């Protein structure tokens, strides 16, 4: 370390302090942008321990029934094109499903329901999230962002011809190789 000090000066505690902060900032930036890194950091100046990226809480956004996430989306097409992305989304889900599940309450599900209001009034328990499997359903024009969808459960319906499901949508950035957002919504389909 002494060879890095300008003009052959000996390293002092005062010199180490800014260097440690600089290194710590670099670690935080790497952790924040790389889903594969798992380097916890300890910021002694603030007295707070930073959580590694895989332990950070994920924000869940709720979309009204049948609404798509913001942006222009098209059918994802051949699912085999997204094999690597499916693996990354599965890895993400293994560490985050409990955080998402905690935020999805029967009250929140009733709030995003546009249809079957009377039937949804009796909806009291959300099914477990742990074993959901995600498939690519939508993508942006360039295929840089892909929406993966999984079904939580079938919901009460207002018509025997309509099936409704509670869904989790994950927006995955294929360039950054990271999850951008998690949405919860309701999808329905008219059975003919």
pLDDT tens, residue by residue, 118-141: 999 999 999 999 999 999 999 999
Q: Are residues 182 and 127 both part of a single domain?
A: yes
| Domain stops at, among 33, 50, 67 | 50
Q: Are residues 10 and 103 both part of a single domain?
A: no
User: What does the pLDDT read at residue 56?
Assistant: 65
Radius of gyration of the chain (CA): 22
Within its chain, how far is the Cα of 180 from the centroid? 6
Q: Are residues 141 and 174 both part of a single domain?
A: yes
Q: Are residues 21 and 36 both part of a single domain?
A: yes
Q: Are residues 119 and 157 both part of a single domain?
A: yes
pTM of the predicted model as reported, rounded to 2 decimal places: 0.70
Q: Are residues 64 and 84 both part of a single domain?
A: yes
Q: Are residues 35 and 62 both part of a single domain?
A: no
User: What does the pLDDT read at residue 143?
Assistant: 87
Q: Are residues 94 and 72 both part of a single domain?
A: yes
The count of domains in the chain is: 2
Dig out the tokens for 50 from the structure: 């930073």
H helix or E strand, kind and range, residue 173 = strand 162-173
Within 10 A of 167 (CB to CB), how many other CB atoms are there?
A: 20
Range of 32's domain?
2-50
Lowest mean pLDDT among 10-24, 97-111, 176-190: 10-24
- pLDDT for residue 181 is more than 80: yes
Q: Are residues 86 and 154 both part of a single domain?
A: yes
pLDDT digits (tens, 9 = 90+) for 42-86: 334 444 444 444 456 788 999 999 999 999 999 999 888 899 999
Q: Are residues 103 and 63 both part of a single domain?
A: yes
Q: Are residues 113 and 94 both part of a single domain?
A: yes
Q: Are residues 36 and 84 both part of a single domain?
A: no
């Amino acid at each position: 370390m002494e060879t890095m000090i300008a003009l052959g000066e000996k390293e002092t505690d005062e010199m180490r302090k800014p260097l440690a902060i600089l290194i710590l900032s670099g670690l935080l930036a790497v952790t924040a942008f790389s889903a594969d890194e798992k380097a916890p950091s300890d910021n002694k100046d603030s007295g707070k321990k930073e959580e590694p990226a895989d332990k950070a809480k994920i924000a869940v956004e709720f979309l009204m029934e049948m609404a798509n996430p913001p942006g222009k989306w098209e059918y994802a097409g051949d699912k085999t094109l997204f094999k690597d992305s499916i693996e990354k989304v599965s890895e993400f889900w293994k560490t985050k499903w409990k955080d998402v599940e905690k935020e999805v309450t029967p009250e929140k599900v009733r709030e995003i329901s546009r249809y079957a209001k009377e039937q949804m009034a009796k909806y009291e328990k959300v099914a477990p999230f742990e074993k959901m499997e995600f498939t690519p359903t939508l993508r942006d024009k360039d295929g840089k962002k892909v929406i993966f969808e999984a079904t939580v459960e079938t919901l009460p319906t207002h018509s025997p011809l309509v099936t409704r499901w509670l869904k989790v949508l994950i927006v995955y950035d294929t360039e950054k190789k990271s999850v951008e957002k998690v949405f919860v919504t309701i999808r329905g389909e008219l059975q003919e």
